[in-house]
Amino acid sequence: MKYIASENMALLDALALLSPGSSMTSLRSWLKSGRVYVDGVQQKNPKALLQKGQAVTLSARQRFAQGVVPILYDDSHIVVVDKPEGILSVATPYEKGETVHAFLKAKYGSGKVFPVHRLDQDTSGVMVFALSEKARDHLKDLFAKHEIERIYMAIVEGKVFPETGTWTSHQYEDSNYYVHNTMDSEKGKFALTHYTVKGNSKLYTLLELKLETGRKNQIRAHCEMVDHPIAGDKKYGANSNPAKRVCLHARYLAFHHPITGKKMEFNSPLPEVFHKIVKPSES
């Protein structure tokens, strides 16, 4: 559902025009549950003032795994989720229960959920899991061939120049799980990250980052390499923590369905706290 504001108005009034048959209680519940977006940005304030021409959209009612992890899509072969920040993707020797993988196994069956990639615990955003062995094998092959499109958003310290560019290095992980950059091709694996500046504030820059390779901690290590560590990422050199989290978010994931071949695209909106630190540019 979509409504284009015909004049300046409060968001709650726009929702009433979007769905004239719905009660005010329903409209407020949509806002509270995060289903309302203004120009693609999640908005929960019923008193937010819209400008003429702004678009109000209502997303489908969300489903969750264990009431914690939003499910964006599922079928008999794959499930796509919007991972919250602070939750591990899969089990570690120190944590086995509170993970996205564990929550999905509780929903779909313990032997039916297969991880095919990871997001760091402090990173939020779009992830895909396989629900069949055939899908698992095909998705892993797509990741290995870099045929899955992944776009991240990050708030980094300082001003980044030029506004578009590419970072390359070879990366390797030491015994303390820290990823280093090197120019030595024999010591590390090639890593390539494209970036575009999407907004600035006095102290920070909002970056859109597109992966050509998918090394562990690739973006975090590359940001440190160019002296613009991700805000909140103390492990990789950050001096500030404005959001009380690592400001890295997996915004977009696209791939061809491992069984049907259909193009699949998934988006996760920029976390609300990011907007409070750097206002995204209009472009």
**Catalytic positions, please?**
120
Helices (H) and strands (E) in the chain, counts: 6, 18
Of the candidates 234, 214, 215, 216, the residue with the CA atom closest to the CA atom of residue 224:
234
Q: How far is CA 165 from CA 161, 189, 193, 207, in A?
A: 9, 20, 9, 11
CA-to-CA distance for 151 and 193, rounded, in angstroms? 10
Find the angle CA(161)-CA(164)-CA(165) to the nearest 5 degrees: 95
- Is residue 237 within 8 A of residue 228, CB to CB? The reply is no
The set of residues, in sequence order, having a beta carbon less than 8 Å from that of 68 and lying 6+ positions away, is 84, 87, 103
- CA of residue 10 relative to chain centroid, distance: 29
